[in-house]
Amino acid sequence: MVTMSKRISTALVALAACSLTFTANIGPAQGGATATTAKTTTTATTGLYGAGDPTYDGVFRQSLAILGLVANDVKPNKAAITWLLKQQCANGSFQAYRPDTTKACDVSDPVNYTGPDTNSTALALTALSSVNQTASAGSAAAWLTKQQNKDGGWPWFSASPSDSSSTGLVLVAVKALKPNGSASAIVRAGKYLTSVKLSCASGGGLAFQKPGAANAQSTSQAFTGLTAGLIVGGAQTLSPNPTCGATTASNAGSYLANAIMKDGALPNSFGAGSDFSSTAFSILGFVASATGKQAVTRGTATLAANASAYGVPDGEASPGALGLLLMVSKATNAKATNFGGINLITTLQQSQQ
């Protein structure tokens, strides 16, 4: 059996390697360790960004990479899009990685964390929408619609409890495509996220699931979903950091802004160190909601200062991290060709197998 900590930690550093990124949902649900493998290109990896083992984060990192390039008006090549399209399951869903796309997808398994999951599907849908692959995106949306729980939230794997991280990622996808019936789904998801928020008196923020303490990674992804933060439209004039208030977005935004102002980045929710991926998600949410001026300035400076360690740990490109940095660079009007001394665009493109 694959343990939750193993799958999640590998998945999340896959996403952000070296910086202790998410842990329960970014490579789908949370993570923090980096995995490296031999740089061998196979039929299953042709077109994939990054040389690291894609077992736990292939679809996730490919989707973020595509979104980052598109945000900067750089068209991903055909191989990159084809790789993602071939990963789609017959029912429209996506799992973290299919080493053999001639075989049917696994059954969604919340015990062993295998098979189709909402996180991979949501990111793939958002990325495919950005490159006008509407048929495949629509199929993914149809599958996601069926996964929404009665409480309004989405689970990581089918038939498991809702969590705020997964709900946030799916909200972004739903808002990107706007399929039929999405208005009701969005309202229900908002009510679920409200149910897991902490009081302003306690500092605000959202729990991963209830009952629970505020979780920085979950709050950042939920905030991104509430604000449609991954749909990057460019820099804009921002108002000051939000004050914790009655709305879930103001509650989450205040919590995130305070954490970023304190240390320059969000803390890793599952161990020591900073979580640069969640910091990037937060910045995208702030810009999308035209708020968080001070937090965006400080957080972006931190990401730029750590761009090499985060985006190219140990000299090996981390596509998910580079994709997020590309979106941040666009959202903050920074130079993608010289962000923290790195040309994010060419570094990502040159990592493609």
Instruction: Give which of 68, 72, 147, 160 is closest to 110, Cα–Cα.
Output: 160
Tokens of 274: 């900073």
Q: What's the rounded Cα separation, in Å, for the pair 192 and 203? A: 19
Cβ neighbors of 249 (< 8 A, separation 6 or more) are 223, 226, 227, 242, 289
Instruction: Give which of 20, 134, 116 is closest to 59, Cα–Cα.
Output: 116
Q: What's the rounded Cα separation, in Å, for the pair 149 and 132? A: 28
DSSP 3-state of 158: coil
The pair phi, psi for residue 222, each rounded to 5°, is: -65, -40
Tokens of 246: 């009655």
Tokens of 317: 């490109």
pLDDT in tens, the chain (353 residues): 444 444 444 444 343 333 333 333 344 444 332 333 344 456 789 999 999 999 999 999 999 999 999 999 999 999 999 999 999 999 999 999 999 999 999 999 999 999 999 999 999 999 999 999 999 999 999 999 999 999 999 999 999 999 999 999 999 999 998 877 789 999 999 999 999 999 999 999 999 999 999 999 999 999 999 999 999 988 899 999 999 999 999 999 999 999 999 999 999 998 999 999 999 999 999 999 999 999 999 999 999 999 999 999 999 999 999 999 999 999 999 999 999 999 999 999 999 99
**64 dihedral zone (left: phi>0; alpha: psi -120 to 50; beta):** alpha
Measuring CA to CA, how many Å separate 38 from each of 28, 54, 59, 190, 285?
Answer: 23, 12, 19, 43, 36
Domain boundary assignment for the chain: 4-349
Instruction: Specify the pTM.
Output: 0.90
In CATH, what number does 4-349 get?
Answer: 1.50.10.20
